[in-house]
Amino acid sequence: MKIRNVRSHILQYRLEEELGYSQQYYAQRTAHIIEVITDEGIHGYGEAFGGGTVAFANKAIVENVIAPVICGMDPFDREVIWHRVYNLLRDHGQKGMPLQALSGVDIALWDITGKAFNLPLYKLLGGPFRDRIPVYGYGMMFRRVADLKTLFAEESQALVAKGFKAVKMKIGIGPKEDLDLVEAVRKAVGPEIRLMVDANHCYTAREAIPLGRELERLRVFWFEEPVAPEDRQGYRDLCLALDMNIAGGEAEFTRWGFRDLIEGRCVDILQPETCGLGGITEYQKVLALAHSHFIPVVNHVWGSAVAVATNLHLLAAMPDLPGGLHPVQPMLEYDTTPNLFREELLVTSLGILEQVSRNGGWVALPGGPGLGIEIDFDFVKRFSVV
């Protein structure tokens, strides 16, 4: 089999309401779907992390830089393809957009392989360690309203009512304001719900350590991206100063980037973003590196149903750490803010919210070969911007 063509589809629409995190507000929803076409009629799909204008830069890399290199190659030769592309791009960017672009292509190659051998991705990866996966609800993003506390309290309560046993909220508007928000959410969800906070790297370690002590008092399970991803020492200082879990990794790339984060024991929980760090081929190496240092992995998941499906397979195939009769299960991150590309992109929806509500916060593994999804191309046409 040979790769005949690589296409990139950027989908966008305007959100009814702006959503914010500590770095910006955004009003546009983007999905960047990569399609790899073979000479035997099999099409594979992947997703490249990077919304807004970044998707257009990634599209150019996919179509003008990566496609000419890999067209004519065998799509099963995923390692060879990965290294050929990475070695050519190394001089022009070892992190960021070149890796995001390569990630989408690599995921599509795995989808092709699964379809060709009629096996779901989790089987190609070595088989399922579990037949269901717990889901945590990510929501509570900033809105331009006067009373964010009430909004967050109501939203978190609604997530719990939908069946989520774990939820994640944004922080990062200032230590005092953050604590007020977290206090309101903790009160709203009660003591039993697992609560995580995400600062999107807006603090220095000196600011984040005292904030973390207060978050511990509120029984926050993890403090995500407290400091800038470049600040390895800051991450390490936080791990040493606090009892709570320090989480991060979504802004890191390749085994070499993760090596330093992992060997430096900079996080208690690693959050690799497969659609950004280099795809599934590279994720496997990062996972092995993390587990070889006994650092638990909870994948970062963001984007369309393609990213969610990919991660369901990865979580299914993740070995227990360290193993036992009652191992801690890796959670699926599920964004609950409005996103048509997550809910309506597929012919048959993944039905995550319905399952969470029916099964008390758990979802089943996807069926079907490859990623086990079928993209609705009428939908793609409707939202395609290029």
State in angstroms the smallest separation of the CB of 199 from Ca ion. Answer: 9
Q: What angle, 0 to 180 degrees and rounded to 10, lies between the N-to-C axes of helices 175-189 and 205-217?
A: 20
Beta-strand runs (E) in the chain: 3-21, 24-38, 43-47, 132-138, 166-170, 194-198, 220-224, 245-248, 269-270, 332-335, 362-364
Residue of closest CB approach to Ca ion: 198
369 prior amide bond cis, ω within 30: no
Task: Between 155 and 198, name the residue whose CB sits nearer to Ca ion.
Answer: 198
Element (H, E) at 54: helix 54-60
Task: Between 82 and 334, name the residue whose CB sits nearer to Ca ion.
Answer: 334
**Catalytic residue (one of 9, 300, 313, 326):** 300
Among the residue ranges 198-206, 230-238, 303-311, 374-382, the one whose residues contact Ca ion (CB under 5 A): 198-206
Task: Between 35 and 333, name the residue whose CB sits nearer to Ca ion.
Answer: 333
Element (H, E) at 307: helix 305-316
Among the residue ranges 37-45, 105-113, 194-202, 289-297, the one whose residues contact Ca ion (CB under 5 A): 194-202
Among the residue ranges 102-110, 174-182, 197-205, 210-218, the one whose residues contact Ca ion (CB under 5 A): 197-205
State in angstroms the smallest separation of the CB of 233 from Ca ion. Answer: 21
Judged on CB neighbours under 10 Å (0-12, 13-18, 19+), 342 is buried
Task: Between 82 and 136, name the residue whose CB sits nearer to Ca ion.
Answer: 136
Contact 166, 151 (CB under 8 A): no
Helix, strand, coil content of the chain in percent (nearest 5): 45, 20, 35
Among the residue ranges 69-77, 196-204, 277-285, 356-364, the one whose residues contact Ca ion (CB under 5 A): 196-204
Q: What angle, 0 to 180 degrees and rounded to 10, lies between the N-to-C axes of helices 305-316 and 279-292?
A: 40
Residue 146 to residue 60: CA distance in whole angstroms: 41
Task: Between 198 and 252, name the residue whose CB sits nearer to Ca ion.
Answer: 198
Task: Between 156 and 355, name the residue whose CB sits nearer to Ca ion.
Answer: 156
- Number of other CB atoms surrounding residue 58 within 10 Å: 29
198 binds Ca ion, rule: CB under 5 A? yes
Q: Which of 303, 22, 13 is nearest to 148 (CA)?
A: 22
Task: Between 198 and 335, name the residue whose CB sits nearer to Ca ion.
Answer: 198
Residue 31 to residue 339: CA distance in whole angstroms: 10
- How many residues of this chain bind Ca ion (CB under 5 A)? 1
Residue 71 to residue 79: CA distance in whole angstroms: 15
Does residue 326 have an active-site annotation?
no
Among the residue ranges 71-79, 127-135, 195-203, 282-290, the one whose residues contact Ca ion (CB under 5 A): 195-203
Among the residue ranges 31-39, 192-200, 337-345, 354-362, the one whose residues contact Ca ion (CB under 5 A): 192-200
- DSSP annotation of 66: I
335 binds Ca ion, rule: CB under 5 A? no
State in angstroms the smallest separation of the CB of 200 from Ca ion. Answer: 6
- CA–CA distance from 270 to each of 61, 251, 258, 273, 309 (Å)? 28, 11, 9, 10, 20
Task: Between 32 and 201, name the residue whose CB sits nearer to Ca ion.
Answer: 201
Phi, psi of 24, deg, nearest 5? -170, 165
Residue 290 to residue 249: CA distance in whole angstroms: 11
Which spans of this chain sit near Ca ion (rule: CB under 5 A)?
198
Give the residue numbers marked as catalytic: 300
